[in-house]
Amino acid sequence: MNEKSRLLEEFKEWIGFVSEIREMDWQITIAEGKWSVQDVVSHILLWDKYFFEAAINPILNNKPLTLTHMDFEQFNQDAIEYGKTKTKEELIKMTIQYRNMILESIESFEDDKFTKEYANGKFTVISYLRDFIWHDQHHIRQIDELKRKAM
């Protein structure tokens, strides 16, 4: 299995995990003073949506990337607020939809698009996948720990 295939398989794990936690109480927080499960899912969903719209889809369509420098704290807070406007099923559906759109797009990329530096070297698909696989795993570990405590 080449690196692209391996990374895509790891990136796909979030879809299965979100489906696995469907029956959990999504309002429970991962730790005192921390986000709820719903907040975490909404947070990842909106990052997926952002990167699909600002980077992955433009690469797919040979358009300029629209990534911008942003206030991450504000983005995350907005994601939490957004999640409160959606049902669990809506969040699950959108999470799977955006993650699949990213996966299908990157799967179709020729090797040069997968390794090319975009936005003056500020973005590569391979680095994006590596970073967000780590990010997904971080949140998966938090929620898995919460599940263990609840048992």
Q: What angle do CA 66, 120, 63 make, to 5 degrees?
A: 40
Q: What angle do CA 89, 95, 98 make, to 5 degrees?
A: 135
Tell me what pLDDT residue 148 has: 83
Tell me the whole-structure pTM to 2 decimals.
0.94
Domain count within the chain: 1
Sequence-distant (6+) residues with CB within 8 A of 10 are: 129, 133
Predicted confidence (pLDDT) per residue in 73-107, tens digit: 999 999 999 999 999 999 999 999 999 999 999 99
Q: Are 27 and 36 in contact (CB under 8 A)?
A: yes
Tokens 């936690």 belong to 21
> Which of the 8 DSSP states describes residue 36?
B
Tell me what pLDDT residue 59 has: 97
CATH number at residue 94: 1.20.120.450
Residue 8's nearest CA partner among 100, 144, 112 is: 100
pLDDT less than 50: residues of the chain: none
Tell me what pLDDT residue 75 has: 96
Q: Are 38 and 27 in contact (CB under 8 A)?
A: yes
Tell me what pLDDT residue 70 has: 87
Q: Residue 93: give the domain boundaries.
A: 3-150
| Tokens, residue 113 | 């698009």
